[in-house]
């Protein structure tokens, strides 16, 4: 999914937090900014005024205004025209500085949104970089139930009717937390981090066959839900027909693999669903095992090393 944001959307999202006022260039409210992967490499999303490699959002602080004031009238107007021709998403004046009339005129002429904020340039730069990085990050919606189990994000996947929601309900009763049911949204907010959230429409809700939709927050309390979590593990539930021959599984390592989510390979564990199997306990054990592997503790490798040591001890050579 290609993410994009318009000047109007960015202003509405940050107006209250950054104290923004829109003073010129209102006709440019539909100007769009796409994800950074579609931009040239040299310009950045946000930065101080730069006429050589224009940033997508140009911050005009005290020093930048002083630079413009030091230019001869003709060069000053050419510089302002050059800024407008670059079609930035917006220009932002810091610390409630008075806007020069020619800057306002240039913004209106080029339909470039011009905002004023009481914040310092550094505050604007830091927050806008964070906000735009998240807003324009790669996104994907996956089918499953996203949970927090032992402090890590776990996505439960499987065919419809395999028991994902019932398993999620059992995990919630054991003290774990629900992030999203059915359609969690995942955003790659860093090269090695995928953040999972719940669509607003599905917030706090879980559909359980036979019970319908239940509100987890109302039923179990606010501590039973969580707004977002980093995705660290996928547990896939696979229905096992007793009439069929069991699928061969590595007895040492189990049925493990990887699943590509956006640009990351996420560890995947497949659990067979059959009568008499306590899936909640198995998921908890899978999560604990994953946490230990992150610390360099691998039970299967420990067993293999012990076996190799025993063979060396009893070898006649």
Contact by Cβ (8 Å): 24, 102: no
Which are the contacts of 34, defined by CB distance < 8 A and separation ≥ 6? 2, 3, 4, 136
Q: Is residue 165 a known part of a binding site?
A: yes
Active-site residue identified among 31, 182, 226, 229: 182
Q: Cβ neighbours of residue 287 under 8 Å, at least 6 residues apart?
A: 149, 150, 152, 154, 233
Query: Over the Cα atoms of the chain, what is R_g?
Result: 27
Establish whether 164 is an annotated binding residue: yes
Catalytic, 251? Answer yes
User: Is 25 labeled as ligand-binding?
Assistant: no
Strand 32-34 with 228-239, pairing: unpaired
Is 162 a known ligand-binding residue?
yes
Q: Tell me if 171 sits within 8 A of 280, measured CB to CB.
A: yes
- Identify whether the C-beta of residue 145 lies closer than 8 Å to the C-beta of residue 178: yes
Scanning the chain, the segments in alpha helix (DSSP H) are: 7-18, 62-69, 73-85, 101-110, 121-135, 164-173, 216-220, 279-294, 299-314
Q: Has 163 been labeled as part of a binding site?
A: yes
Whole-angstrom distance, CA of residue 142 vs CA of residue 145:
9
Annotated binding residue 82: no
Active site residue 82: no
With tokens 């592997």, the residue in question is 293
Angstrom distances, CA of residue 296 to CA of 61, 193, 255, 286: 49, 20, 19, 15
The one catalytic residue in 31, 131, 164, 176 is 164
Is residue 235 marked as binding? no
265 is in an annotated binding site: no
Catalytic position from the list 143, 174, 258, 277: 143
- Is there a binding annotation on residue 35? no
Q: How large is the angle between the packed helices 164-173 and 279-294, nearest 10 degrees?
A: 70
Binding-site residues from annotation: 158-165, 207
Binding-site residues from annotation for Mg(2+): 165, 207
- Catalytically active residues, by annotation: 143, 164, 182, 251
Binding-site residues from annotation for ATP: 158-165
């Amino acid at each position: 999914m290609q993410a994009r944001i318009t000047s109007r959307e960015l202003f509405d999202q940050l107006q209250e937090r950054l104290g923004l006022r829109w003073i010129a260039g209102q006709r440019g409210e539909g100007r769009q900014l796409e994800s950074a992967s579609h931009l040239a490499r040299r310009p950045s999303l946000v930065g101080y005024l730069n006429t050589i490699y224009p940033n997508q959002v140009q911050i005009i602080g005290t020093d930048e205004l002083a630079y413009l004031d030091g230019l001869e009238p003709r060069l000053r107007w050419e510089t302002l025209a050059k800024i407008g021709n670059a079609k930035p998403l917006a220009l932002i004046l810091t610390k409630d500085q008075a806007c020069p009339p020619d800057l306002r005129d240039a913004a209106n002429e080029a339909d470039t949104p011009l905002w004023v904020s009481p914040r310092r340039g550094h505050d604007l730069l830091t927050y806008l970089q964070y906000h735009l990085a998240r807003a324009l990050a790669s996104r994907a919606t996956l089918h499953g139930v996203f949970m927090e189990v032992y402090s890590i994000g776990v996505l439960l996947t499987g065919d419809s009717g395999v028991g994902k929601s019932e398993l999620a309900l059992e995990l919630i009763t054991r003290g774990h937390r629900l992030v999203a049911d059915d359609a969690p949204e995942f955003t790659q907010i860093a090269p090695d981090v995928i953040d999972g959230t719940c669509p607003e429409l599905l917030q706090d809700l879980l559909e359980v066959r036979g019970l319908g939709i239940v509100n987890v927050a109302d039923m179990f309390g606010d501590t039973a839900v969580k707004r977002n979590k980093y995705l660290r593990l996928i547990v896939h539930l696979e229905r096992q027909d007793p009439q069929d021959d069991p699928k061969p599984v590595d007895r040492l390592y189990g049925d493990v693999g990887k699943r590509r989510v956006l640009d990351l390979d996420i560890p995947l564990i497949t659990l067979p669903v059959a009568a008499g199997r306590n899936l909640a306990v198995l998921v908890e054990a899978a999560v604990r095992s994953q946490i230990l592997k992150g610390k360099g503790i691998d039970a299967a490798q420990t067993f293999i090393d012990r076996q190799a040591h025993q063979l060396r001890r009893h070898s006649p050579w």
